[in-house]
Amino acid sequence: MSAAFRGMDVVSIRDFSREQVEHVLKLAEKMVPIAKGEERSVLLEGHVLGSLFYEPSTRTRLSFDAAMTRLGGRVLGFDQPTGASVAKGETLADTIRMIDAYSDVIVLRHPQEGAARLAAHFANRPVINAGDGAGQHPTQTMLDLFTIRKEKKKIEGNNVVIVGDLKYGRTVHSLSEALAMFGANLTFVAPPSLQIPKEHLKQIESMGHKPKMSTSLAEVVKDADVLYVTRIQKERFPDPAEYQKVAGTYRIDLDLLKEVRKDLIIMHPLPRVGEIASEVDSTPHAKYFEQAFNGVPVRMAILGLVLGGLK
């Protein structure tokens, strides 16, 4: 397994087999005490992570920084392209060639879809995609899978309800494909204009699954084991009144949770903007902050594997 990971680019969840993802999740479990600061590690001492964030990010960037630092490595790069040669019009290809010479692994967040694949094309070092436009965000998918497995002991057979902007939501597409690969039962809840795109549905169906589609969260939430909530973006709606209507329909509050399963877990990639009422935070269902923490051990496992420190 280690030979397959060392030097590997992490661009899309589609590049991974189920066995490979399971291996990452297993190693991530072992990383938890280091991620929490309970144990010290020098696994990646002397290694440098080149961190290029062309778009703002809080959790992804900081959890990569934390993961690398906790394993004894160093981080260099930028968290906004202004001031860098990027702002002077340098191509991504040239910036990548430069950071490739300064670091051992590259983490890239970029507004254009396909940017990480392009970076992987020009870099000799492994490239980890930290989100490319509306495209892929494979480490988010892995930490989501990690969270479900941790809370539910397994992924297979769980009823996962995914609600929100399923059309443009970056995390939803790769997550739903991965969940199908692991044998979870999927239900997509969204207004018709924001339902999951046909090509993703086709991809899921090609794995032998038939997801359910619904517009009503209240109807399907009772049988859910996992409720995955995503943000509905205001800018997708030409009419603000229409946005208010849709956003209100899918708001998660204590009232909605009256008849749910006791062990339902609620996840959200964050940031949230009113999709989940803060009154839900103190219920045992709320797992979104644990989910955000889980980004650290998962990214530790990935960094360790692609740099050859973990096997």
Partner 1 sequence: MKEFKVTPIRNGTVIDHINVGMALKVLKIVGVKEDVSSTVSVLIHVPSKKAGWKDIVKIEDRELDPKELDRIALISPNATINIIRDYNVAEKFVVEVPNVIRGIMKCANPGCITNKDEPVEAEFVVESKKPITLRCVYCDRITTDIAENIQ
Could you tell me how far CA 112 lies from the centroid of its own chain?
Answer: 17
Instruction: State the amino acid at position 62 in one-letter form.
Output: L
Q: How far is the CB of 128 from partner 1 (least distance, A)?
A: 16
Q: Map residue 181 onto helix, strand or coil.
A: helix
Find the shortest distance in angstroms from Cβ 118 to partner 1: 5
Beta carbon of residue 127, minimum distance to partner 1 (angstroms, whole number): 13
| Contact yes or no for 167/193 (Cβ under 8 A) | yes
Q: In terms of CB distance, is 132 or 275 closer to partner 1?
A: 132
Smallest gap from Cβ 206 to partner 1, in A, equals 11
Q: Which CA distances in Å does 309 have to 47, 246, 287? A: 10, 47, 30
Question: Using CA atoms, how far apart are residues 21 and 10, in angstroms rounded to an integer?
Answer: 11
CB 160 within 8 A of CB 228: yes
Judged by beta carbon, residue 177 or residue 225, the one nearer partner 1 is 177
Q: Alpha-carbon Rg of the chain, whole angstroms?
A: 19
Alpha helices in 50-91, H assignment, sequence order: 59-70
CB of 106 to partner 1, least distance (A): 15
CB of 204 to partner 1, least distance (A): 14
Nearest approach, Cβ of residue 199 and partner 1 (Å): 5
Using the minimum distance from each CB to partner 1, give the nearer residue, 174 or 185: 174
Closest separation in Å from C-beta 81 to partner 1: 13
Orientation angle between helical segments 18-35 and 138-152, nearest 10 degrees? 80
Identify which of residues 108 and 266 has a Cβ nearer to partner 1 in the complex. Answer: 108
- Structure-token match 């490595």, residue found: 73
Question: Bridge partners of 48?
Answer: 74
CA angle 151, 2, 150 (to 5 degrees): 0
Interaction site with partner 1 (CB under 8 A)? 12, 14, 91-93, 110-115, 117-118, 121, 132-136, 199
Pick the closer one to partner 1 by CB: 199 or 235.
199
Q: Which residue, 43 or 134, is less far from partner 1 as judged by CB? A: 134
**113 versus 255: smaller Cβ distance to partner 1:** 113
**CA-CA distance, 246 to 244, in Å (whole number)?**
6
The answer to whether 260 touches 222, Cβ cutoff 8 Å, is yes
Nearer to partner 1, 116 or 226 (CB): 116
- Tell me how far the alpha carbon of residue 135 is from its chain's centroid: 11
